[in-house]
């Protein structure tokens, strides 16, 4: 399972990269705004800064909603750095653009996926990644994990190569349950990654070992 961090915060990205288990980064316009990154040049530079920190794929989202605009923005983003994956919303024009990018060998992440039908369309269009938003479904009392399971079944039935990128992860149990269901990738905040480290028995066990080790020194 690949681990992506879902943030535009460079400190968090560096910290996750330092753990040695980070495979990539996802961003979205809200995450960029949260870091006060505004203006096209600053936004493009920020993507480059992220690519400098990590080795893997970095999703950069288009904001156009018409085919020509999505293609224009996506091609500019893809040219920026080889690690950039063009993140495109699951709308009709976005679907057409994913097919266009796929034919040109440009990697895409189809975002804002809330149903298995949408995921099926994205895979048929040739999306590299599909991002079902687990946490936001849970927020409205719908079983987000069930969507991950459905997409896994459908993709396996037809051997689609599109990777399931479980998004909108909120906590460590989301990560573990997505791993059980066979999601290819998870993207979440730093807390969902370093939270996996923690167990009270590890902490008390280590304290006791260190206490007992004092007599060796």
* 83 contributes a contact to ligand E4P by CB under 6 A: no
* 187 contributes a contact to ligand E4P by CB under 6 A: yes
Active site annotation includes 107: no
Stretch 18-57 residues interacting with ligand E4P (CB under 6 A): 26, 28
Tokens of 177: 């349950």
Per DSSP (E only), the strands in the chain are: 2-6, 24-26, 57-61, 84-89, 108-113, 129-132, 163-166, 185-188
DSSP secondary structure letters along 30-65: HHHHHTT--SHHHHHHHHHHHHHH-SSEEEEE----
> Between 28 and 199, whose beta carbon lies closer to ligand E4P?
28
Determine the interface stretch with ligand E4P among 33-41, 72-80, 131-139, 146-154 (rule: CB under 6 A): 131-139
State the number of CA atoms in the 13 A half-sphere of 211 facing the CB. Answer: 6
* 136 contributes a contact to ligand E4P by CB under 6 A: yes
> Between 9 and 208, whose beta carbon lies closer to ligand E4P?
9
* 168 contributes a contact to ligand E4P by CB under 6 A: yes
Determine the interface stretch with ligand E4P among 35-43, 132-140, 194-202, 207-215 (rule: CB under 6 A): 132-140
Give the residue from 17, 143, 182, 12 showing the smallest Cα distance to 83.
Answer: 17
Q: What is the biggest distance separating any 2 CA atoms in the chain, rounded to whole angstroms?
A: 71
- Residues of the shown chain interacting with ligand E4P in the complex, contacts defined by CB under 6 A: 6, 26, 28, 111, 131, 133, 135-136, 167-168, 187
| Catalytic positions, written as ranges | 87
């Amino acid at each position: 399972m690949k681990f992506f961090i879902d943030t535009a915060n460079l400190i968090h990205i560096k910290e996750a990269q330092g753990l040695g288990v980070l495979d990539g980064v996802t961003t979205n316009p809200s995450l960029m705004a949260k870091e006060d990154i505004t203006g096209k040049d600053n936004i493009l530079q920020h993507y480059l800064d992220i690519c400098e920190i990590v080795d893997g794929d970095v999703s950069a989202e288009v904001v156009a909603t018409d085919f020509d605009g999505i293609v224009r923005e996506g091609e500019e983003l893809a040219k920026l750095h080889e690690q950039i994956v063009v993140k495109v919303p699951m709308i009709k024009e976005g679907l057409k653009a994913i097919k266009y990018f796929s034919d040109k060998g440009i990697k895409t992440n189809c975002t804002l996926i809330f149903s298995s039908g949408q995921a099926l369309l994205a895979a048929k269009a040739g999306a590299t990644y599909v991002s079902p938003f687990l946490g936001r479904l849970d927020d409205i009392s719908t079983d987000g994990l069930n969507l991950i399971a459905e997409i896994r079944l459908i993709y396996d039935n037809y051997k689609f190569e599109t990777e399931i990128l479980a998004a909108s992860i909120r906590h460590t149990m989301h990560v573990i349950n997505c791993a059980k269901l066979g999601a290819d990738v998870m993207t979440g905040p730093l807390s969902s990654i370093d939270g996996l480290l923690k167990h009270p028995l590890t902490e008390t066990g280590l304290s006791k070992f260190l206490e007992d080790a004092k007599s060796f020194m």
